[in-house]
Chains A and B, each alone.
Chain A
Amino acid sequence: MASTLKLEIVTPEAKIYSADVDMVTLPGAEGEMGIFPMHVPLLTQVAAGEVVALQGGQDVHLAVGEGFVQITGDRVAVMTDMAIRAEDIDEAKAEEARRRAEARLQEKLSDDELAVANAALVNSLAQLKVKRRGRP
């Protein structure tokens, strides 16, 4: 059977990542999950955070927003509203976005606006976390 997983990460704007990987770590709704090939079929929510894919002995880091993941024996499909590779993250921009989102949360907002601001905040936090990993 399959010894690799096909990892696909798509956002409404584009397909961000698609490759065969050996293992994936995801921020699941109930904590980190490590997915190996032949995992049982699973559908769960993804929290904003870091996705680590082990591809040919090398780690690939990505920041993702909230979304869903569908896991079958040989495939991991992540649908999220934001996904960005660690090396593409602009730290200053993410920091700026975080500050803007925090300021927005101080205002009086309707439910919809609140959800948007919250999503923006967790997305920027996820980016910052990924970018700053391994640093003090």
Chain B
Amino acid sequence: MPSTRDIRRRIKSVKNTAQITKAMQMVASAKMRRAQQAALSGRPYAALMNEVLASVTTHAGDFTHPLMEKREGDRRAVVVISTDKGLCGSLNTNLLREAGRFDPATTTYLTAGRKASQFVARTRRKLAAEFTYKDAPAFSEARAISKFAQDLFLSGEVDHVDVVFTNFINIMTQRPEVHSFLPLGEVKALHTDVEGASSARELGTASFEYLFEPAPTDVFAALLPHYLNFQMYQLLLEAKASEHSARMVAMKNATDNAKQLIKDLTLEYNKIRQATITKELLEITSAAMALG
């Protein structure tokens, strides 16, 4: 049987842990609110962008752009958007399982976030570039990643570019997803529940031709890279919102577990304490009786 002192010590250490996890939970929930807000407010723009691109690609006639070129090869680049820090539950595990599905022989990796870089290094896969992004992702950070991916694609080094990221569904659910980035083909929305997203389909079937001003080539040349940059930005925002939500939930679980543990230990402690007192009383009374 452990002594009361051992148990007291354990209670104290668990309490400390609970305090830390509680603080981390608070921090994560504050950050989560901001990240979630950013991700949600970007969605109308993303939806509209999708819609425009969808209608334009169906109505532009036989027009093509290098970024839309479909190639036969199976060399691909995969952008993995992970977190920098751990302690966010199974988020990275799930994400990297998805990232590991690609054939190592034909795949090069671009990573955003330290966990992804570590994963690529650990599994000895090909790493083309490492990117970082801050807690509040900046558009310029997204542009850097997107630019690199576009260059790889345009130079013919890879035939496909995919993005593995964690899609933010709600606070409790974040799903690792593979998003096809290049070539630009069928445009699909990340979230179909956003206002304006549904009309993309209606517009897609409408039978009018678009006018372009200036020429379609010019508009496309400006629109497509911008679309991709923005897409990457939105993916970063989604990943960030997912990260903070996952961390908050993980820390909340940790705090709850610690509290439960403290409760159990306190009960145990009191039992032992009472047993000791009872034993001492017994000893005293039996000693008194023996004397008397």
A residues touching B (Cβ–Cβ < 8 Å)? 8, 10-15, 28-30, 40-45, 68, 70, 72, 77, 79, 112, 116
Q: How far is the CB of A23 from chain B (nearest CB, A)?
A: 18
Name B237's closest neighbour in chain A (CB-CB): A12
Do A30 and B214 form a contact, CB below 8 Å, given A43-B56, A68-B223? yes
* Further 9 A-B residue pairs, CB within 8 A, beyond A14-B44, A43-B56, A77-B51: A12-B45, A15-B44, A30-B213, A41-B59, A42-B211, A42-B212, A43-B212, A68-B222, A79-B52
Q: Are A12 and B139 in contact (CB under 8 A)?
A: yes
Do A79 and B45 form a contact, CB below 8 Å, given A40-B211, A42-B213, A44-B212? yes
Q: How far is the CB of B198 from chain A (nearest CB, A)?
A: 14
- The complex places the Cα of A70 from the Cα of B196 at a distance, in Å, of 13
- The complex places the Cα of A111 from the Cα of B200 at a distance, in Å, of 34
Name B219's closest neighbour in chain A (CB-CB): A43
Contact of A12 among B222, B223, B233 (CB under 8 A): B233
Max chain B C-beta neighbours (<10 A), residue from A8, A40, A45, A112 = A45
- The complex places the Cα of A71 from the Cα of B143 at a distance, in Å, of 27
Name A78's closest neighbour in chain B (CB-CB): B48
- The complex places the Cα of A51 from the Cα of B219 at a distance, in Å, of 20
B residues touching A (Cβ–Cβ < 8 Å)? 38, 41-42, 44-45, 48-49, 51-52, 55-56, 59, 139-140, 143-144, 147, 196, 203, 208-214, 218-219, 222-223, 226, 230, 233
Q: How far is the CB of A120 from chain B (nearest CB, A)?
A: 12
Number of A-B contacts (CB under 8 A): 74
Residues of chain B within 8 A of A77, CB atoms compared: 48, 51-52
Q: Are A112 and B41 in contact (CB under 8 A)?
A: no
Do A8 and B48 form a contact, CB below 8 Å, given A43-B56, A43-B210? yes
Q: How far is the CB of B91 from chain A (nearest CB, A)?
A: 24
Contact of A29 among B55, B59, B213 (CB under 8 A): B213
Q: Are A10 and B52 in contact (CB under 8 A)?
A: no
Q: How far is the CB of B107 from chain A (nearest CB, A)?
A: 27
